């Protein structure tokens, strides 16, 4: 079956991972979206046009992460890759701890899923496995794929996930520094190979409490977002992020590093809390930060196959 002429449109949300104590385990999708249109063509290779974030910066050929993710997905199911034309409209900030690389990977996998509709069917666990192979960890790609709050874990058979619906009282804010970025690889290199036993126990208790706070009891978010596994070790690489988080937490607000940083996630228990957080950041920040008042995305990634007028 020829795929030439098929066009798909993909929409993928931003994500925030760790959420404080849930290192490499918890993630949540946020209502900021990268949108992608992909058309299969006869001419081999790939051309990419980027509008918005990353324009003039990311590769526009076969080395583009989205194209590599499409190719990886086709190869995983033994399908020949057609030529590709991509138009990417990006809104997720790059290098800020909002899951931009995970979104690019998920965009490619979902585009491949759409192009192969009626040829190959993909299950949820298969999609997660493909995304984890490319990203290295499932905590960002799971919420990008499935939406909501996700718990991920690894098994001998591959990554697994559980999606939960966040309490309607939870009001996220992401404060994004205009100038600073953070490499995930650098952030990971700052962490020790082992941690004290009491710190591990501390984080187990807070992670369990955080699920309860996000799903049922938002008033517990401040205590539930305490962490001793990763944030303090990375603080030296992003001192302003750390100083603002300590200030916000001192004011009773559940502030944590968003993903690998340097952005800050504030989990308000009501809208007034995140307004207060934005005011405090504007008052205390030494550089320019943009405060995004965001909803939790509950749907996750979507793909529409236009030529067959079918949606997934």
Per-residue 3-state assignment (H helix, E strand, C coil) for 97-144? CCCHHHHHHHHHHHHHHHHCCCCCCCCHHHHHHHHHHHHCCHHHHHHH
The verdict on whether residue 284 carries a ligand-binding annotation is no
Residue 119 to residue 105: CA distance in whole angstroms: 21
The verdict on whether residue 99 carries a ligand-binding annotation is yes
The verdict on whether residue 95 carries a ligand-binding annotation is yes
Chain segment 29-75, per-residue pLDDT in tens: 999 999 999 999 999 999 999 999 999 999 999 999 999 999 999 99
Given a contact cutoff of 8 angstroms between Cβ atoms, the answer to whether 244 and 287 are in contact is no
The verdict on whether residue 259 carries a ligand-binding annotation is no
The verdict on whether residue 136 carries a ligand-binding annotation is no
Given a contact cutoff of 8 angstroms between Cβ atoms, the answer to whether 302 and 2 are in contact is no
The verdict on whether residue 197 carries a ligand-binding annotation is no
One CATH from 3.40.50.300, 3.20.10.10, 3.90.1150.10, 3.30.70.890 for 171-293: 3.30.70.890
CA angle, 188 then 229 then 252, to 5° = 115
The verdict on whether residue 103 carries a ligand-binding annotation is yes
The verdict on whether residue 83 carries a ligand-binding annotation is no
Chain segment 250-283, per-residue pLDDT in tens: 999 999 999 988 999 999 999 999 999 999 999 9
Number of Cβ within 10 Å of residue 150's Cβ equals 27
The verdict on whether residue 250 carries a ligand-binding annotation is no
**SS3 of 202, please?**
helix
Architecture of domain 7-164+297-311 in CATH?
2-Layer Sandwich (3.30)
Q: Which residues, given as ranges, of the chain have pLDDT below 70?
A: 182-192, 230, 233, 307-312
The verdict on whether residue 299 carries a ligand-binding annotation is no
pTM score, whole prediction: 0.93
Q: Where are the domains of the chain?
A: 7-164+297-311, 171-293
The verdict on whether residue 169 carries a ligand-binding annotation is no
Question: Token digits for 113?
Answer: 């899923």
């Amino acid at each position: 079956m020829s795929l030439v002429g098929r066009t798909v449109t993909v929409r993928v949300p931003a994500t925030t991972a760790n959420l404080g104590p849930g290192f490499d385990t918890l993630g949540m999708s946020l209502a900021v979206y990268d949108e992608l249109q992909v058309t299969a063509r006869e001419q081999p290779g790939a051309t990419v046009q980027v509008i918005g974030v990353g324009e003039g910066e990311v590769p526009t050929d076969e080395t583009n992460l989205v194209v590599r993710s499409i190719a990886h997905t086709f190869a995983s199911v033994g399908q020949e890759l057609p030529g590709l034309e991509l138009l990417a409209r990006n809104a997720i900030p790059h290098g800020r701890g909002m899951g931009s690389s995970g979104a690019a990977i998920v965009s490619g996998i979902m585009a491949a899923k759409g192009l192969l509709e009626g040829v190959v069917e993909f299950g949820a666990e298969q999609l997660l496995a493909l995304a984890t192979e490319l990203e290295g960890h499932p905590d960002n790609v799971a919420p990008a794929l499935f939406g909501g709050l996700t718990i991920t874990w690894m098994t001998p058979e591959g990554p697994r996930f559980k999606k939960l619906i966040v309490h309607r009282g939870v009001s996220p804010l992401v404060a994004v520094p205009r100038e600073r970025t953070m490499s995930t690889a650098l952030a990971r290199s700052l962490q020790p190979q082992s941690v004290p036993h009491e710190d591990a126990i501390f984080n187990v208790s807070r992670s369990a409490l955080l699920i309860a706070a996000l799903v049922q009891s938002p008033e517990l978010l401040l205590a539930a977002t305490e962490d001793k596994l990763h944030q303090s070790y990375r603080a030296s690489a992003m001192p302003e992020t750390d100083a603002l988080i300590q200030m916000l937490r001192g004011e009773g607000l559940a502030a944590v590093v968003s993903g690998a940083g340097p952005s800050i996630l504030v989990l308000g228990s009501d809208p007034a809390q995140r307004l207060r957080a934005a005011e405090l950041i504007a008052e205390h920040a030494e550089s320019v930060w943009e405060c995004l008042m965001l909803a939790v995305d509950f749907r996750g990634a979507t793909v529409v196959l236009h030529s067959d007028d079918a949606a997934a």
